[in-house]
Amino acid sequence: MTSGERAPSDTAPLLVAEGLTKTFTLGRGRGKNRVLTAVDGVGFELRRGETLGIVGESGSGKSTLARLVLRLIEPTSGSVRYDGTDLLALSERDMRQMRRDIQMIFQDPYASLHPRRTVTEIVSEPWNVHRGMVERHRFHDRVVELLDQVGLPSRYAGLYPSQMSGGQRQRVAIARALALKPTVLVLDEPVSALDVSVQAQVITLLMQLQEELGLAYVFISHDLPLVHLVADRVAVMYRGKFVETGTSDEVYANPQHEYTRKLLSVSALAADPATTGVLAPVAPSPGPSG
């Protein structure tokens, strides 16, 4: 996760998508149903320990693609394979088990956390579904271990989401994802809802966790400089298709598609070469601590 410089330890693809397409039927117009193609024939490969950045503006199809990969919505056509297993051929029960290995972190940590449950209840919830991973009498201790892993003190175990800042809530969401010991995290705009100064802290945490745990990331963002900082390879998405792919350095330094150049020109964040991998805010704004 170092701007395209690190080679994954295992070159065999771990997650492979081919020809993924998703269409939605909208309301009738002029006597006919209108069809929206949100994702149009997209394919990619992700290797162990690698970060694939998928970048595009709102409405480009990024979030729909993320949900297709985890079968949170069903594709119209195409295939997804994880470690050789065809995910689209799995029963609902078997797919639920497979989600132990592929976890998703959403954009808005407040919306993704139950407001009336404590952090202990939130982080331990996956163990109630995937029984046998952690013995019930060890739930609290294991939650404390996970909180420490994401940089939160043990006292946060008894708090509710409303008692924490946005950055702290996102750390809880990361801890919940790590509770199942996944190999792949799909990160859908994981810092865009956070204050600029907190974004850097969460990105640094994600980079550290990847190094420690050997995680593979699908990192979705609208911000190409941010993706350049965290990703090994980049796919630029526009109107449901990948219009440009390459290593992070190649795409950032020499964009070939007009849309890629547009993303660079309108980005709200920049990577500061004078720092050691910390995001440099263009226009800092006050906000809660991460």
pLDDT digits (tens, 9 = 90+) for 79-109: 999 999 999 999 999 998 899 999 999 988 8
Asked whether residue 9 carries a pLDDT value surpassing 90, the answer given is no
pLDDT band with cut points at 50, 70 and 90 for residue 146: very high
pTM above 0.75, yes or no: yes
The whole-number pLDDT of residue 91 equals: 94
Q: Give which of 234, 287, 194 is closest to 62, Cα–Cα.
A: 234
Q: What is the 3-class SS of 23-77, one letter each residue?
A: EEEEEEECCEEEEEEEEEEEEEEEECCCEEEEECCCCCCHHHHHHHHCCCCCCCE
> What is the structure's pLDDT at 289?
44
CB count, 10 Å around CB of 165? Answer: 16
pLDDT band at 59 (very low <50, low <70, confident <90, very high): very high
Most confidently modeled range among 48-52, 191-195, 267-271: 48-52
As a whole number, the mean pLDDT across the chain is 87
The pLDDT value given to residue 256: 93
Residue 10's pLDDT is what? 55
Q: Which domains does the chain have, with CATH numbers?
A: 1-101+183-290 (3.40.50.300), 111-181 (no CATH)
* pLDDT number for residue 114: 92
**What integer is the mean pLDDT of 39-43?**
97
Q: Is the pLDDT of residue 20 over 70?
A: yes
- Give the model confidence (pLDDT) of 21-34 as tens digits: 999 988 766 667 78
Q: How far apart are CA 141 and CA 166, in angstroms?
A: 24
In this structure, of 10-19, 185-194, 208-217, 224-233, the range with the lowest mean pLDDT score is 10-19
